[in-house]
Structure 1
Amino acid sequence: MNLALDESTQERLPQILEDILKRTLIGEKSNKLKETDIFLILVVVLLSENGFLLMKNHNTKDSQCLQHIDNTNLSTWKISTGVHEISFVLSGYSDIIIKLVLCALGRTSLINVVISDLNPEVYSVGFLVNHYIVDPEASTIPMMFHNLKHLSDTFKNKIITPVKSTILNYYGFSGASLKGLPEELMFNLLLLLPVSDIINVAKTCKKFFILLNNESFWHKLFLRDFPHKVGTAGSLEWKISYRIVYIAHQESVRRVRNLRSSMMDLRDRYDYTSSYPIMDIIL
């Protein structure tokens, strides 16, 4: 059975990756590839493993323009120095073109992905190439690479999963992440989390940031955490009201803890437990 990229070792790689690299090396006059070119090949293999099909032409939706990964040619993807563009589609949804642009910024490769005519959002992630390509001139191809599982996992989380979810959601199917869920269902799931985790989710991307600033959501969160304080909200926005009540609550908790700690110190310093049994009840 052929390996996946995340199963790679310094002895074995996916056969398709080795084949592309060997063919590309033969085609290069200098017989030497740049790190960015090698990294681009890794990205192409990752796309192929996850059900995406490459296209020969950047702008046509003609299914005849699909390109088999075995026929990849780096030169057709170069727009200008250090910049590559790939067009591809998700298998089974060939009417939606996805564009990936890879820019080399020193040792970092920045990947931007846009789903044409469907979503203005740009999915972006930067990779330190030398974390994965440790020796482009290694004696064997597998020894060129390191930590490809981390690359695969990061690429899936930042690019593959959100892109698939967006496309599936467009066609009415639940996707492979929170992004593919209906808004109301996602709110219900997030309401199971503590507010600190909800804030962290809002930091993950622009879409969640906008979504979790929804007044309706903060109203539900206020009702969940401070139902007895609803009458104090007044005319303020629910998120602002939540913040005010939350800070006051945390301060109250802090004071109680400090008082409890002080009383514990008193008990340790003066053994009042025999003379003042009420102290045991308080503590």
Structure 2
Amino acid sequence: MNPTLIEESSSKRIPHNLEALVKSLDGSPDVSPTNTNDLIAVLLYVLMMETGYSPINVGGTSISSSDHGFSIHKLNRFCNMPAIWKNIRQNNYEMTFTLGRFTQHPCRLLIISIDDEIIVNLLISNLNEERNGYSLGIQPSKYVVNPTSNCIPTKFRNLRDLSLRFKNSLSHPARSVILTKEGILNASLLGVPDEVKIKIFKYLKVSDLLKLSLVCSHLYTVTEEQGLWRYFLLRDFRCEDVEDLVNQPGINDIIIWKEEYKKRYTSVHIRRHKWHFRSDI
């Protein structure tokens, strides 16, 4: 099964949207897929979306006006880089994002190449605060080791380290500042980034998850996340045909994992004559 997040990547598997973005570079007239810095820029682009940001200036793709959380659907919608994201002459990069409905605070991601290092700046507009930006230094060779490989996952390594460093130093602090500025409390489950909520929810029983989904509309939305129900399907129905189903190419585009979980739950418990399936799943 392909991982959902960059930090879950291995030398054999990477998230679907990251793979699609790297492949899209092949068809770009102004970007070489063998360029290490290009691949770093693609990684950071995906990490911003994993933290709940949506890119702007991506042709033909609509952006939700209210969603500032993690969503596999959002990740998979953006399988192309923004229209203007690279300064070819200077080998620098610039991309702009918004966090949900808070479009008054666009965030500029600036990636500047200096010798063998990359300096990453995330600048937040219209904050009127003492600090409106965050910076991080990255050594590209630590994360992109084989840019010419025909096998995309082997181009990368140490992606968990890159993900944690970037999110802890840039995207999460910026997100927290914006939400606090707009009166969204962060010292609660609702303030925890959605990808962290999903990791927590994976430890729950499905019955407890359903109760949690009744708390508010935001938690309901998070508990409906496709990747979460795909995980529960694999966890609760350990059999070969489930693994084969989950690993089918393109299956995420045609199946609703919660409905698949419901069907299998119903089938198993009718056969056992123990429980009736709960109608609220």
Give the TM-score, by structure 1 length. Answer: 0.55
- 1:1-283 matches, within 5 Å, as 2-3=2-3, 4-28=5-29, 32-56=33-57, 68-73=77-82, 76-79=84-87, 81-118=90-127, 119=129, 120-175=131-186
Letter in 2 for 1:93: F
Number of residue pairs aligned between Structure 1 and Structure 2: 171
Whichever residue aligns with residue 51 of structure 1, its letter is: G
CA deviations 1:199-223 (Å, max 9, x no partner) are xxxxxxxxxxxxxxxxxxxxxxxxx
The structural deviation recorded for 1:92 is 3.3
Q: Runs of 5+ in structure 2 lacking a partner? A: 66-73, 192-281
1:149–1:63 Cα change, 3 Å: closer
User: Does the aligned pair in 1 maintain the 2:105–2:125 contact within 8 Å?
Assistant: yes
Read off the aligned partner of 2:21 and give its amino acid letter: I
Displacement of 1:109? 1.0
* Cα distance, 1:33–1:137 mapped onto 2, change above 3 Å: closer
Distance between the aligned counterparts of 1:148 and 1:88, measured in 2?
22
Alpha-carbon shift at residue 110 of structure 1 (Å): 0.5
Contact 2:2/2:13 (CA < 8 Å) preserved in 1?
no
Q: What is the Cα deviation at residue 25 of structure 1?
A: 1.7
C-alpha displacement of 1:164: 1.0
Describe the superposition over 1:169-210 as per-residue Cα deviations: whole angstroms up to 9, x where unpaired. 101223369xx9xxxxxxxxxxxxxxxxxxxxxxxxxxxxxx
Q: Is the 8 A contact 1:2 1:15 kept in 2?
A: yes
Shift of 1:63: 7.7
Taking the aligned partners of 1:11 and 1:43, their CA distance within structure 2 comes to 20
Aligned partners of 1:165 and 1:176 also within 8 Å = no
TM-aligned CA deviation for residue 139 of structure 1: 3.1
Aligned CA-pair RMSD: 2.7
Please name the residue that 2:198 is paired with. none
Contact persistence 2:143–2:157 (CA under 8 A) = yes
The residue matched to 1:175 in structure 2 has which SS?
coil
What is the CA distance between 1:34 and its match in structure 2? Answer: 1.2
**1:245 match:** none
Please give the alpha-carbon distance, in whole angstroms, between the structure 2 residues aligned to 1:105 and 1:156.
Answer: 22
* 2:164 alignment partner AA: D
How many angstroms does 1:105 deviate by?
1.0
Higher relative contact order (CA 8 A, sep 6+): 2
Per the TM alignment, residue 84 of structure 1 is displaced from its structure 2 partner at its CA by 1.1
SS in 2 for 1:124: strand
Secondary structure of the residue that 1:71 maps to in structure 2?
coil
Contact persistence 2:22–2:33 (CA under 8 A):
no
Whether the 8 Å CA contact 2:64–2:100 is kept in 1: the answer is no
Q: Which has the higher helix share?
A: 1
CA offset at residue 53 of structure 1? 0.2
* Superposed structure 1 runs of 4+ greater than 6 Å apart: none
Whole-Å separation in 2 of the counterparts to 1:99 and 1:112: 8
State how far apart, in whole Å, the 2-side matches of 1:176 and 1:164 are.
13
Q: Which has the larger radius of gyration?
A: 1
Residue 96 of structure 1: how far off its partner (Å): 1.7
Q: Structure 2-normalised TM-score?
A: 0.55
Task: Calculate percent identity across the aligned residue pairs.
Answer: 30
1:163, distance to aligned residue in structure 2 (A): 0.4
